[in-house]
Chain A
Amino acid sequence: MTESYPLRTFIGHAVLILGILIVAFPIYYTFVASTHSLQTILRPPLPLLPGDRFVENYSEALFGGVGRIGGVSVGTLLFNTTVMALGIALGKICISILSAYAIVFFRFPLRMTFFWLIFITLMLPVEVRILPTYKVMVDFGLIDTYAGLIIPIIASATATLLFRQFFLTIPGELVEAARVDGAGPFRFFKDILLPLSKTNIAALFVILFIYGWTQYLWPLLVTNRNDMNTIVIALRKMISFADADTEWHLVMVTCMLAIVPPILVVVLMQRWFVRGLVDTEK
C-alpha cells in the first residue's frame, strides 16, 4: 500500500461530493421547481427546498393536459415515449440476435457481404441523411405512427457485432452435441443460445432503452401531431423564452417525468448498465 494521509482521503471525499453536487444539482433543482407555483418560479431566486404544490402540479400535468402542446396530457407523452423506447430496445435485440445467429452458425453465399452491409450502417446515422430518409418515411405513410418511430431505427450494427462476438466464443462442441441429440436450428437457438445470451441481452436492453428514450432528431422528424410526440420533443414545444407565458411549473414537472424513468432503469439495473456500456463500445 502507498502512503495514506487522512488529509488526502478527506480531499478525495470533498472533491467527489463537490462533483456529485454539480452532477445532481440541476436534477434536484428541477424537482424543487416542479413543486412550486408558477409565481414562485418567475421570481428568482427559487428556494432551495421543495414547495407544497407537488400533488397539484403533477396531477395537472399528468391528467389535465398542457395548453402549449394542444392540451395533450403528459400521460400520453409518457406512453408514446415508453412504446418507442421499449420498441427500439426489443426490436434491436430481436433483429440483431437473429442476424448474428445466421452469420455465425450458418454458411451461405454472400455471408460476409451481408455482415459488412450491416456493419457499415454504423457510418450512416440519421444526421447524415435527414431529408432523403424523411422522404422515404412520407412515401411509406409512416409519419405520426408508432411503426415510424420504431422500425426504421431498429437496425443495429452495434448489437449485431456484440452478439456475433459472443456467439463466436460458444464452443463448437456444444453445437455438435446439440445436433447429435437431434436439435435443429430452432431448437438450438431457443433452448441453448437464448439462455446463454441472457446477461448480454439484459445489458444491451438497458443501454438501448436509454438510447430509445433519449432520441431527439428522429421523433422530431417523424412526428408532427402533438399527441404523437415523445416527451422530449413536447418539452421543447412547451418552452418559449421569448414570451412570458411558458407554464414553467408544468415544464418542470414534465422534465422530471421525462428523466425519472430512465434514471430508475440505470440505477436499478446498474450492474447490467455498466456491463452494457463496456460491451457496446468494444
Chain B
Amino acid sequence: MSPRVVFPNKILPYLLLAPQLAITLVFFYWPASQALYQSMLREDPFGLKSQFVWFDNFARVLADPNYLNSVRVTAVFSIATAAVAMVTALLLAVMADKVIRGRGLYRTLMIWPYAVAPAIAGMLWLFLFNPSIGTLAYGLRWLGIAWNPLLDGGDAMVLVVAAASWKQISYNFLFFVAGLQAIPKTLIEAAAIDGAGPTKRFWTIVFPLLAPTTFFLLVVNTVYAFFDTFGIIHAVTGGGPGKATETLVYKVYNDGFVNLILGDSAAQSVILMVIVIALTAIQFRYVEKKVHYG
C-alpha cells in the first residue's frame, strides 16, 4: 500500500483520540485490571484484610460443583440455542430463496424479534407458558403434558432456550438469505441438468457453499448465548429452579454483585475474559478467510 496522504498536525490527533481513550482506560482497562488483581486476592469475611493467594481462587472455583454445574448449563443452553436458532433460520431462508412473490414482505415480518430486548423476549415466552395464566401452558395441560417451568429445571431450560433462539432467528435468517443469494445460480442449474434433485443439490452444493456463513453464525450465536442472554435468565428464571438455568454470566453476577463473594467472582470474571478472547480471536481469524470466499 502506498503511503497515505495525511495531515501534518502533531497535537490534533491526540485530541481526537482523547475521549475514546479516556473512556476505555477508566471504564474498561482499569476495572479489568482490578478484576485480574482481585482474582488473586482472598478477603476475610469482614473485608478488613486481604491476602495475595495467587491461583487459589481459580483452583477453588474450578473444583466447585456449583461452578461445574454452571459450565454444563451454559454448554447445554448455548448449543441448544445456537442449534435451534440456526436450523430454523436456515430452513426459513431456504424457503425464502425459493419463493419469488412476497419475499420482501416475508423479510420485513421476519426481522421484528431482532428489535426485542432479550429480557422482554423471555417475558413474552414466560407469559405464554406460565403455568397459572399462560394460554399455551393451558393448551399443554389440555393435551395432558405436565409442564411447569417454575418448578421443573428441564422445563425452565426449554423455556429459556425457546425465548433465546426465537430472538436470534431474525439475525440468522438475514445472514442465511444473503449467503444463499451469493451462491451462483449456474452451479445449481448445472447440477439440475445432471439430474440431481433438490434435496441432493442442497446437501452437495448449497450447504457446503454456505459453510462460511454457517461458521460465522455459529460463532456469533455462541457469543450471543453466552453473554447477551443474561437478561433472559435474570428476568425469567433467576438461574433457577435450583440452579438449573444458572449460566456462567448469571453466576458471576449473582456471586459478585448479589452475594458479594469477591475473590471467587473475580476469578470467574477472568475465566470469562479468557473465553471472550478465544471467541473473538476465532471470529477475527475467520473474517480473514471470508475475504477469499468473496
**Chain A residues at the B interface, C-beta cutoff of 8 Å:** 1-3, 8-9, 11-13, 15-16, 19-20, 22-24, 26-27, 29-30, 33, 41-46, 95-96, 98-99, 101-108, 111, 114, 117-118, 121-125, 127-136, 151-156, 160, 172-173, 175-176, 179, 184-185, 188, 210, 213-217, 220-221, 232, 235-236, 239, 241, 248, 251-252, 255, 258-259, 262-263, 265-267, 270, 273-274, 277-278, 281-282
**Chain B residues at the A interface, C-beta cutoff of 8 Å:** 2, 4-7, 9-10, 12-14, 16-17, 19-21, 23-24, 26-32, 34-35, 38, 88, 91-92, 95-96, 98-99, 102, 106-121, 123-128, 130, 132-135, 137-139, 150, 166, 169-171, 174-175, 178, 188-189, 192, 198, 201, 216, 220, 227, 230-231, 234-235, 249, 252-253, 256-257, 262, 265-266, 269-270, 272-273, 276-277, 280, 287, 290
Taking CB atoms, residues of chain B closer than 8 Å to A175 are 4-7
**Is A16 a contact partner of B249 (Cβ separation < 8 A)?**
no
Query: Least Cβ distance of A160 to chain B in Å?
Result: 7
The residue from A9, A99, A122 contacting B280, defined by CB atoms under 8 A apart: A122
Q: Considering the chains assembled together, what is the distance between the CA atoms of A132 and B270 in angstroms?
A: 12
Taking CB atoms, residues of chain B closer than 8 Å to A176 are 5
The residue from A24, A98, A136 contacting B19, defined by CB atoms under 8 A apart: A98
Query: Least Cβ distance of B115 to chain A in Å?
Result: 4
Query: Least Cβ distance of A69 to chain B in Å?
Result: 14
Query: Least Cβ distance of A216 to chain B in Å?
Result: 3
Taking CB atoms, residues of chain A closer than 8 Å to B106 are 16, 20
Taking CB atoms, residues of chain A closer than 8 Å to B128 are 26, 29
**Is B138 a contact partner of A273 (Cβ separation < 8 A)?**
no
**Is B116 a contact partner of A263 (Cβ separation < 8 A)?**
yes
**Is A131 a contact partner of B262 (Cβ separation < 8 A)?**
yes
Taking CB atoms, residues of chain B closer than 8 Å to A108 are 10, 13-14
